[in-house]
Structure 1
């Protein structure tokens, strides 16, 4: 069995979370031949979690991690850094899912605990993994109703939440845009690039980590797999693919993956005068009450300067590369959404704008299974890459090590990925639906 990459990861816009931290550690490019027990393709949340879990279960295993680009500059370093413990169904009206929410919450908290243990083990700074909770912000009557519905759903699960009125939202964010908010305490606010850099640095003590080493192909001959990169080759007993939507690039799950891009912008550092005009707390995160609304986040100096991040605008691109006009449209929309929320900061420039790659399946399930003999996948995070990526990485590692847990049992019980409608109708329909949902979200 041979899998050949039809395309390699490509990104538009800078990896802002890495940019504001400054240069990170350099990892070598794979050159020459290696042997390994386990090779992990991809150094994001799933891949690094998989490598760490393999080493927990098999401390003497020879583990190699291959990253196509620079560590923390791919999709993992381009999200907005919310590691959410509660049900968070992006396809729903108010995040409440239709499945077993208690089970999913328990698993998400296992992912958070896994991250907290890594932070302690590798000595990462606290501000890259901040258990600060988050707020669902509502700007309209409809959004307020969504929040109240979500609060009732959480109460039915015996999960705590705190209602914030308009004054409470103003005191937190400095914005009078919101009429209410629903605070939940279990979310971790990540500096995603800092977290990924820290995991890679910690793992390098026991594993071999390579960057700028995209896997061009991998093939099985007998019991072993051979992986080829532009300058090197690895022969391994087992392979874990942790490449999210790029699974399709290798011909796996073709016609079953929605390749989605979400866009974000980050301001230049807020000077002392701007911070006085804004007021509010130094660090907070606000997700929209309508899943297709606008996410806002404020970070403080410890994470690269006092800045505000705006995330909204989505587009489906089967090519796995957003178009230039997607970026231009998103940048305009970010300025509009930022100014609506913070009119006193209307002169503040957006220093960075970027696109982040997400992958969804039509029925919201992951692709976490044994694809071929000793070839395991930890892919298709359905827009929840921080927590779900960690879980799929753990599951793939446990399968490779012959270990069974609640995590592996959860993914074993998932249905197969549903097939998408034929192209180009799948993309046309998805983008029309996204634009309608975006329009309907309005001020949210």
Structure 2
């Protein structure tokens, strides 16, 4: 039996959620039900798995259990990048002469983008929710410029399209002279993550039912089935997908294999577009890993700037309001350095969100026990990797021999983390060093 030792806790509400109209949650589970597949977690992974299952076999009975409300958790706290190419321009993983592993990652990412694109087309979303606009990697220093140049060479080897921008051209896009260079790649999709996840949930058809405010308390193998207990009901399922990322460890699954890191974001109040030149909607990741992600978000009444930065190790899977406020002070300095013409514009929303990392950067994926599947550990690329993991978990259950499933099968297993207290000491030191190394970026 797997018993949850803790339930998800969210500190503050993300700006993405607060920008949306209020919604009525789906009812909680209040009785015992029998289904073919139960999915624990209604984020990118869980909802993508449910969509894939219902598309391939509309007759399947699928129950999705969400501990909170749709988009209140990590998915709705995401920065909204569904990437096709890697974020980290300096990663050795993508720099070698063997392009096989890189191509595998790109295929996985583009499979996620395909699902998201299909949902967007079905729902008739505008660019405020789903924008296939590409993304920029932006530098603020000579060191960042070097990483941009290195990344361009890697893309040449992969024959992937890109466009290099000098400081003047970056200013034409961003409206600020703070950046020194950039590289634009066209394949990334930018989403309003809370709106996307809500819409993905609403798109599910057939035999899929979502139960909100219904945390899984325990799961136990009973013969060839699994029984999941919830506060007011129970689910008996032939198959179960753990799509709850780091909280899989709360059930004792992948114990000692997942590192729990939180990252933080701040979003400004709306400001007049006349105060900042350039494009009114763009998205940029930092040239240097662990740097600062920036988005300009276009709105009907004005625009906003999103700043995402700061990383903390939180093995208890929760953060405090003080953690968010400390990160916010860093965000304020980064905002001022990048957008001096927006002096006086205040931050309206601040929040943090959880990530689950493995020591060797691989997903925590596969059939753990007969009928029990995991789609966890997105390693900081939640919108993309979680979506793909959910699809792959569904393919495993359906018996589909997909290219995606084969790609995930080539990853090695997650490696054990160092024992405590060395893990905490090492994780905090490593995060601090990497943030220091990112410098101005």
TM bucket by the smaller chain? over 0.9
2:300 aligned with 1:299: no
- Rounded to whole Å, the distance in 2 between the matches of 1:22 and 1:314 is 30
What is aligned with 1:247? 248
What is aligned with 1:279? 277
What is aligned with 1:339? 336
Deviation, structure 1 residue 17: 0.6
2:131 aligned with 1:134: no
The DSSP-based 3-state class of the residue aligned with 2:365 is coil
What is aligned with 1:173? 174
The DSSP-based 3-state class of the residue aligned with 2:87 is coil
- Rounded to whole Å, the distance in 2 between the matches of 1:36 and 1:405 is 24
2:380 aligned with 1:383: yes
2:409 aligned with 1:412: yes
- Distance change (3 Å), C-alpha of 1:296 and 1:95: farther
- Rounded to whole Å, the distance in 2 between the matches of 1:295 and 1:3 is 37
- Distance change (3 Å), C-alpha of 1:94 and 1:419: closer
The aligned length equals 438
- Rounded to whole Å, the distance in 2 between the matches of 1:28 and 1:106 is 37
- Distance change (3 Å), C-alpha of 1:40 and 1:390: same
- Rounded to whole Å, the distance in 2 between the matches of 1:182 and 1:89 is 13
Is the 2:161–2:185 Cα contact (8 Å) retained in structure 1? yes
- Distance change (3 Å), C-alpha of 1:130 and 1:282: same
Is the 2:54–2:204 Cα contact (8 Å) retained in structure 1? no
2:423 aligned with 1:432: no
2:223 aligned with 1:222: yes
Deviation, structure 1 residue 102: 1.5
The DSSP-based 3-state class of the residue aligned with 1:314 is strand
Is the 1:65–1:209 Cα contact (8 Å) retained in structure 2? yes
2:37 aligned with 1:38: yes
Deviation, structure 1 residue 403: 1.3
What is aligned with 2:154? 153
- Rounded to whole Å, the distance in 1 between the matches of 2:206 and 2:72 is 21
What is aligned with 1:362? 359
Give a deviation string over 1:365-400, Cα, whole Å, max 9, x none. Answer: 101100111111111111111111111001111111
Give a deviation string over 1:69-88, Cα, whole Å, max 9, x none. Answer: 11011000001001110123
What is aligned with 1:201? 202
What is aligned with 2:103? 102
Is the 1:94–1:291 Cα contact (8 Å) retained in structure 2? no
Is the 2:53–2:394 Cα contact (8 Å) retained in structure 1? yes
The DSSP-based 3-state class of the residue aligned with 2:237 is strand
Runs of 4+ in structure 1 displaced over 4 angstroms?
A: 92-95
Q: Which runs of 5+ in 1 are unaligned?
A: none
Is the 2:36–2:60 Cα contact (8 Å) retained in structure 1? yes
Is the 2:5–2:250 Cα contact (8 Å) retained in structure 1? yes
Deviation, structure 1 residue 15: 2.0
Is the 1:43–1:65 Cα contact (8 Å) retained in structure 2? yes
Give a deviation string over 1:393-428, Cα, whole Å, max 9, x none. Answer: 011111111111111111112111100111121121
- Distance change (3 Å), C-alpha of 1:97 and 1:129: farther
Give a deviation string over 1:15-50, Cα, whole Å, max 9, x none. Answer: 211110121342111111111111111111100000
Deviation, structure 1 residue 184: 0.5
- Rounded to whole Å, the distance in 1 between the matches of 2:19 and 2:292 is 22
Deviation, structure 1 residue 276: 1.4
What is aligned with 1:63? 62
What is aligned with 1:392? 389
- Rounded to whole Å, the distance in 2 between the matches of 1:35 and 1:234 is 6
Is the 1:96–1:150 Cα contact (8 Å) retained in structure 2? no
Deviation, structure 1 residue 296: 0.4
Is the 1:94–1:290 Cα contact (8 Å) retained in structure 2? no
Q: 2:368 aligns with which of 368, 371, 376?
A: 371
The DSSP-based 3-state class of the residue aligned with 2:328 is helix
Moved more, 429-438 or 155-164: 429-438
